[in-house]
Amino acid sequence: MRYNGFYYALFRGTMKKVLVEHYGKSFAADTMHRTKGIYKKLVVDWYDALVIDCLWFCHSKRCIIPRTEDMTTAYHDYGFHIRGSVKGMLIGPQVCLLVGGLTALLAVIWPPSILL
């Protein structure tokens, strides 16, 4: 799925106006810049959960693993796919934060100039 930012653009003006009124222009600009990435991630995650998993994977015979044809009820369990996607959305940011923190720590211990 290619993200074009259409839905984000619909609400961008209202969000920015409220942030400017309450917190100032510099905070609003920084927050809007950071929010776009988070919003993009959520749009892609929900698209994956609803369209790819629930609509395509659950109903396509090409996605069934060989010798599991008798498990069609398990393939059609929408709750399983949604729960798995929500778990990934909740756990993913913490894992990214941990890996990013370790990377930053390693950059302090072994500066990149030493490694090159």
Q: Distance from CA of residue 91 to its chain's centroid?
A: 11
Provide the pLDDT for residue 112: 63
pLDDT band at 6 (very low <50, low <70, confident <90, very high): low
Provide the pLDDT for residue 16: 80
Query: Amino acid letter at 83?
Result: R
Provide the pLDDT for residue 38: 74
Mean pLDDT of 87-113: 81
Its pTM stands at 0.52
Provide the pLDDT for residue 114: 60
Provide the pLDDT for residue 109: 84
Among 31, 56, 54, 38, smallest CA distance to 92 is for 38
Tell me how far apart the alpha carbons of residues 114 and 99 are, in angstroms, rounded to a whole number: 21
